[in-house]
Structure 1
Amino acid sequence: MKSRSFWALAFLSAVVLYRFVDEFQKVQSERIQSWTKTPSADCAVVLTGGAGRVREGFDLLVNQNVKKLVISGVYSNARLREIMPVWPFYGNLSENDVVLDRRSETTYGNAQQSLPIVEALKCRDILLVTSRLHMYRSYRTFRATFPENIYIEKHAIIGGRFESSVWESGFEALKSLFYSFWAY
């Protein structure tokens, strides 16, 4: 009986290790394509939580690459001018073109809370703005949540160093592995 339990545990451990290594490789293989082409969509959905993401969203809006900007995962009491204090330097942007999602706390929540906003804004396509490291899990979560008729284009940015450490990639792969069981 003990040997059966041992082999069952060994098999389960091997499967989890295989899945983790697979997720790790997928997280690390995410490429930045936004540098080689000019992005364009009805809306951009920016996932907060990393350096440069919100500013990239505003750059897309001011450069008219998108018509509306959804910033997902801001603090519940946050105000637009607090999030983007350099707003006056962006010219004549309208606050009506920016929607703040104050309810999301996770990547899954970002997708769930952004969908009704995107639908209300009548966006046919979106640019998903997050870090390169976070893009694999984010894109898969959004793709699993959003209907097929809404096209999602990846718009990854560098949120620090270009290459992530093994520790950072491993932690993201672990989160992606967890998400693969219930979110996508």
Structure 2
Amino acid sequence: MIRKALASLVAVWIIGFALFAITLPQPMPLTGKVSEAVIVPTGGPGRIMRGLQVLRARKAPLMLVTGVDREVKPAEFAAQFEVAGELMDCCITLGFQAVDTQGNAREAAQWVAARQVTSIRLVTTDWHMRRAANELESALPESVVVDRDAVASAPSLGTLFLEYHKLIYSWITT
């Protein structure tokens, strides 16, 4: 009886991991839907550039980059990502509070509430999207619409393995 239960649990884990790995979220088109803001957690290549593409394509008028290192100055950020001063001043907020995905969600939820935003586009790496969205949706009021715009990557098996377990933990704890 215990062996059957354990075998079933292992089978569910294997199938779940396989589905997680082969069905990574995809980017949203830069045509069509407009959101009130784009939220970009730091940490993976291409995330900030994708957020800036969304902003420049006018698919969101505001952007929060959450989890920025406290040492980064707005002018350094603007120079690194070739952002005009006017765009930085009007439309981009650098969030310095978060150090992990849960912190990103809390920081984003505070920012969203302060601006009374009701629709956002979450931009993060494909392998990180499910957990980031789960954490964010748990921190936001149900009335806020979260669209998922994944940055395509080529994650290693190790990255997928670790993220799958973090996602399971996130589902259990939120």
Is TM (by shorter chain) over 0.5?
Answer: yes
SS in 2 for 1:75: coil
Residue in structure 2 matched with residue 178 of structure 1 by the alignment: 169
C-alpha contact 2:38 2:51 (8 A) present in aligned 1:
yes
Q: SS at 2:39's partner residue?
A: strand
The one-letter code sitting in structure 2 at the alignment partner of 1:42 is: E
Q: Aligned pair count?
A: 174
Query: Separation in 2 of the partners of 1:62 and 1:37?
Result: 12
Aligned residue among 36, 53, 58 for 1:59: 53
Question: Greater relative contact order: 1 or 2 (C-alpha under 8 angstroms, separation 6 or more)?
Answer: 1
Task: Tell me the distance in 1 between the aligned counterparts of 2:30 and 2:90.
Answer: 30
Gaps of 5+ in 2: none
TM-score (norm 1): 0.80
Query: What are the equivalent positions in structure 2 for 1:1-184 lying under 5 Å apart?
Result: 7=2, 11=5, 15=9, 18-19=12-13, 21-23=15-17, 25-35=19-29, 37-86=31-80, 90=84, 92-159=86-153, 161=154, 164-183=155-174
**Per-residue Cα deviation, 1:107-155 (whole angstroms, up to 9, x for no partner):** 1111111101011112110000001111111111112221111000001
Over aligned residues, Cα RMSD in angstroms?
2.6
Deviation (angstroms), 1:90 = 4.5
2 CA distance for matches of 1:42 and 1:73?
20
Larger Rg computed on CA atoms: 1
The Cα shift of 1:102 comes to 0.7
Q: Is the CA contact (8 Å cut-off) linking 2:30 and 2:59 kept in structure 1?
A: no
SS in 2 for 1:85: helix
Instruction: Report the Cα distance in structure 2 between the residues aligned to 1:89 and 1:116, rounded to whole angstroms.
Output: 24
For structure 1, list consecutive stretches of 5 or more residues without a partner in the other structure.
none
What is the percent sequence identity of the aligned residues? 20
